[in-house]
Structure 1
Amino acid sequence: MAFKLKNLKYILPVFIVILLIIYPKVQNRISSNCTIVPAVLSTHNIDGSTVNLSWTGSVNSKKTYLNVSTSKSLKPDGSLEVTDIVNDVVTNKNSYSKTNLSPGTYYWNIVIDGCKQRKVSSLGTFTIQSTTNDTVDTVCTIEQATLNEPEIEDTTVTLSWTKSKSAKVTYINISSSKEVDDDGVLQKVDIANDVVTDKKSYTRENLPPGTYYWNIASDGCGQRKMSELGIFTIQ
């Protein structure tokens, strides 16, 4: 027994040295057998402003990332440079949904880490289309107000009109002169020049006998529209 212990005393260090020499080689061999492949992107599905992305991952992946961007600029390793839409860990997933996307073209790929490597998938793209509700009419137009027949009682006149739907501000102009400029604006507004934005009629009392001219100015959409020129007479 003493002999065995004595021999073990010399054998054990030798065994440790051999183990230290062999183990790295074995470890390197195991590592060299560990490989990952880039994820394979599947067909995406779009429903309105929602996209569903799917892919097939790699067997030896330790961590998987999904990147979605409005820019197709890539880093040297092939991953997206800008990840302004999605930059999420999707290690145990093979699909991902993103809702409420604005109309436009988007780019995406899958990044896989594993076996001390990083693999980036090919670059995918999809487009969110504008719907009728998303479309904004950038052409704002304003129509002219429509004048009604004046109502006269002695020296009082009541004027009414149908206002323009797009008008932000509406004015009534009354003049003793029918002179107008090229845009139809009365040159002399000596009787009335009032804001009537929230009104559909206007009454003026104690008018001297004579003939008067009036119109409605509608401001909106960066424009001004003048109605036709109306006329009434106080006897």
Structure 2
Amino acid sequence: MERIQDLKVIAFDADDTLWVNEPYFQEIERKFCEMMEVYHPQHTVSRELLATEIANLEDYGFGIKSFILSMIEAAIRISGRTIKLEVIEKIIYFGKEMLHKPIELLDGVEEVLATLNGRYRLVMATKGDLLDQERKLIKSGLEKHFHHIEILSDKKEANYQKLLHHLDIQPKQFLMVGNSLKSDVLPVLELGGYACHVPFHTTWEHEKIDYSIDHSNFRQLRKLLDLLDFI
């Protein structure tokens, strides 16, 4: 991808692009699987939890609260409705623990945002719970760099089309930067926008794709700082 001539807006995903997120989910999932091992092997519990999360996305959306509700639902089903109250209480505690985790910024984030702020309109475009994402943005200290925050119910082509309409720009004036090929890259390319993939060392199973992307509007980055080399 060559330098973008008409670029006006750069949107950044938040979780695992600006700050650490998925490892916290994996840590709690591991604890959950260990607790439920009295009923089924851990790999079976993990598979059941993932299926429950995906089934609940339409009702609950993304984020910690959805994750906790899915764990409670999975625990009830896995245990054959015999789950003890203290286990439910433990799951709720896990959720509150996640909500109050400190923010760990990823390498290069502050430098990239500080460099681009003022040159382009910067937007944080992320999935998840509105209250939680706003809280994390404030705690991160990055709020000053962003024109505004967009919490999307999902990141499909229609969601991005609505975002572009709200921003009053054309796809060729929009660049999305994120760690998910499925959510941050493919839908934007389909619209005719630009997208950069910044890999994170771990990815939620639901966000994985099993093929490579070859597109003139796509750039694979090694790290976020590489973004400054071509815009």
Asked if these proteins are the same fold (TM beyond 0.5), I'd say: no
Larger CA Rg, structure 1 vs 2: 1
More helix by share: 2
TM-score by length of 1: 0.17
Tell me the TM-score normalised to structure 2 length. 0.17
Which structure carries more relative contact order (alpha carbon 8 Å, separation 6+)?
2
Which has more strand, going by share of residues? 1
